[in-house]
Structure 1
Amino acid sequence: MTRIGPRSLTARVLLLATAWSALALVVIAIVISALYRQSAERAFTDLLRAQLYNVINSVSIGEDNALVGNPQLGDLRFSQPETGWYWIIEPLGTFAATPLSSSSLGVSNIAVPSILNVPFDNRYERFYQTNDAFGNHVLVAETEVVLDGEGRAARFRVSGNLAVVEEDIRTFSRSLYIALAVFGLGSLIVNGLAILYGLLPLDAARKALEKVRRAEAERLEGDFPREIMPLANDINALIDSNRRIVERARMQVGNLAHSLKTPIAVLLNESRTLDRPQSELVKSQAEAMQAQVQSYLNRARIAAQRESVLARTEAEPVLERLIRVMRRLNPDKNFHLSIQPSSLALAMEQQDMEETVGNLLENAARFCKTGVWVTAVPAPQPPGMEGGDQPRRSWVEMAVEDDGPGLEPDQIKEAMKRGRRLDESKPGAGLGLSIVREITGEYQGVFELSRGPRGGLKARLLLPGVTKDAA
Structure 2
Amino acid sequence: MSTRSLTSRVLWITSVWIAIALTVIALVISHLYRQGTEASFTDLLRAQLYNVINSVSVGKDGKLEGRPELGDLRFVQPETGWYWTVTPLGDFKAPPIRSISLGQGNVPVESQEKRPFNSRYERFYRTNDSFGNAVEVAETEVLLDNEGHAARFRVIGNHKEIEHEIDAFDRQVFLVFLLFGLGSLAVNALAVLFGLRPLDAVRRRLEDIRSGKSESLTGVFPREIAPLVSEVNALIDNNRRIVDRARTQVGNLAHSLKTPIAVLYNEARRLDEGPRQLVSAQVATMQTQVQSYLDRARIAAQSATVLARTEPAPVIERLMRVMRRLHPDLRFDVEDGAGTGHLLAMEQQDLEEVVGNLLDNAAKFAGSAVRVVVEPSIREDDPGRRSWLSITVEDDGAGLDEAEIDEALKRGRRLDESKPGTGLGLSIVSEIVAEYQGALKLRRGNNGGLEAMLVLPQVDRTT
| Structure 2 length-normalised TM | 0.82
Alignment of 1:52-63 (within 5 A): 52-63=49-60
Deviation at 1:128, TM superposition (A): 1.2
Counterpart check, 1:134 vs 2:131: yes
Deviates more, 1:318-327 or 1:114-123: 318-327
2:310–2:344 CA contact under 8 A, matched in 1: no
Alignment of 1:99-248 (within 5 A): 99-248=96-245
Amino acid at match of 1:340: A
Q: Which residue is 1:465 aligned to?
A: 457
Deviation at 1:393, TM superposition (A): 6.5
- The Cα offsets for residues 139-161 of structure 1, whole Å up to 9 and x where unpaired, read as 11111122223332221110001
- The Cα offsets for residues 276-321 of structure 1, whole Å up to 9 and x where unpaired, read as 444333323211222234446767x59x969x99477866336645
Summarize the Cα distance change of 1:466–1:16 in structure 2 as closer, same or farther, 3 Å threshold: farther
1:59 and 1:309 map into 2 onto residues whose CA distance is 106
Summarize the Cα distance change of 1:368–1:162 in structure 2 as closer, same or farther, 3 Å threshold: closer
Summarize the Cα distance change of 1:236–1:347 in structure 2 as closer, same or farther, 3 Å threshold: farther
Deviation at 1:415, TM superposition (A): 7.3
Counterpart check, 1:51 vs 2:48: yes
Deviation at 1:353, TM superposition (A): 4.5
- The Cα offsets for residues 165-198 of structure 1, whole Å up to 9 and x where unpaired, read as 1111111111111111111111122211122111
Q: Secondary structure at the match of 1:52?
A: helix
Of 313, 317, 339 in structure 1, the residue corresponding to residue 311 of structure 2 is: 317
1:109 and 1:419 map into 2 onto residues whose CA distance is 107
2:339 and 2:319 map into 1 onto residues whose CA distance is 23
Summarize the Cα distance change of 1:346–1:19 in structure 2 as closer, same or farther, 3 Å threshold: farther
1:149 and 1:269 map into 2 onto residues whose CA distance is 147
1:312–1:466 CA contact under 8 A, matched in 2: no
Summarize the Cα distance change of 1:36–1:438 in structure 2 as closer, same or farther, 3 Å threshold: same
2:445 and 2:39 map into 1 onto residues whose CA distance is 91
Of 12, 20, 28 in structure 1, the residue corresponding to residue 17 of structure 2 is: 20
Counterpart check, 1:97 vs 2:101: no
Amino acid at match of 1:267: L
Counterpart check, 1:79 vs 2:71: no
Deviates more, 1:356-365 or 1:268-277: 356-365
1:125 and 1:320 map into 2 onto residues whose CA distance is 104
Q: Which residue is 2:440 aligned to?
A: 446
Deviation at 1:329, TM superposition (A): 9.5
Deviation at 1:88, TM superposition (A): 0.7
Q: Secondary structure at the match of 2:311?
A: helix
1:88–1:157 CA contact under 8 A, matched in 2: yes
Deviation at 1:218, TM superposition (A): 1.1
Counterpart check, 1:356 vs 2:337: no
Q: Which residue is 2:263 aligned to?
A: 266
Counterpart check, 1:35 vs 2:28: no
Q: Which residue is 2:338 aligned to?
A: 340
Q: Secondary structure at the match of 1:103?
A: coil
Deviation at 1:460, TM superposition (A): 1.6
- The Cα offsets for residues 78-122 of structure 1, whole Å up to 9 and x where unpaired, read as 111111111111122232322111011113332222222211111
1:156 and 1:415 map into 2 onto residues whose CA distance is 106
Q: Secondary structure at the match of 1:465?
A: strand
1:139–1:159 CA contact under 8 A, matched in 2: yes
2:12 and 2:295 map into 1 onto residues whose CA distance is 49
2:431 and 2:107 map into 1 onto residues whose CA distance is 100
Of 369, 389, 392 in structure 2, the residue corresponding to residue 399 of structure 1 is: 392
Counterpart check, 1:67 vs 2:64: yes
Summarize the Cα distance change of 1:345–1:211 in structure 2 as closer, same or farther, 3 Å threshold: farther
Of 398, 402, 405 in structure 2, the residue corresponding to residue 408 of structure 1 is: 398
Q: Secondary structure at the match of 2:196?
A: helix
Alignment root-mean-square deviation, CA: 3.9
Summarize the Cα distance change of 1:335–1:408 in structure 2 as closer, same or farther, 3 Å threshold: closer
Q: How many residues are matched?
A: 451
1:311–1:348 CA contact under 8 A, matched in 2: no
2:305 and 2:239 map into 1 onto residues whose CA distance is 12
Amino acid at match of 2:353: E
1:268–1:283 CA contact under 8 A, matched in 2: yes
1:79–1:102 CA contact under 8 A, matched in 2: yes
Counterpart check, 1:377 vs 2:408: no
Summarize the Cα distance change of 1:143–1:354 in structure 2 as closer, same or farther, 3 Å threshold: same
Q: Which residue is 2:250 aligned to?
A: 253
2:341 and 2:158 map into 1 onto residues whose CA distance is 80
| Structure 1 length-normalised TM | 0.81
* Structure 2 runs not aligned, ≥5 long: none
Identity within the alignment, %: 52
Deviates more, 1:322-331 or 1:82-91: 322-331
Amino acid at match of 1:85: W
2:254–2:293 CA contact under 8 A, matched in 1: no
Q: Secondary structure at the match of 1:139?
A: strand
1:319 and 1:134 map into 2 onto residues whose CA distance is 93
Q: Secondary structure at the match of 2:152?
A: strand
Of 426, 429, 432 in structure 2, the residue corresponding to residue 436 of structure 1 is: 429
Q: Secondary structure at the match of 2:223?
A: coil
1:435 and 1:309 map into 2 onto residues whose CA distance is 16
* Structure 1 runs not aligned, ≥5 long: none
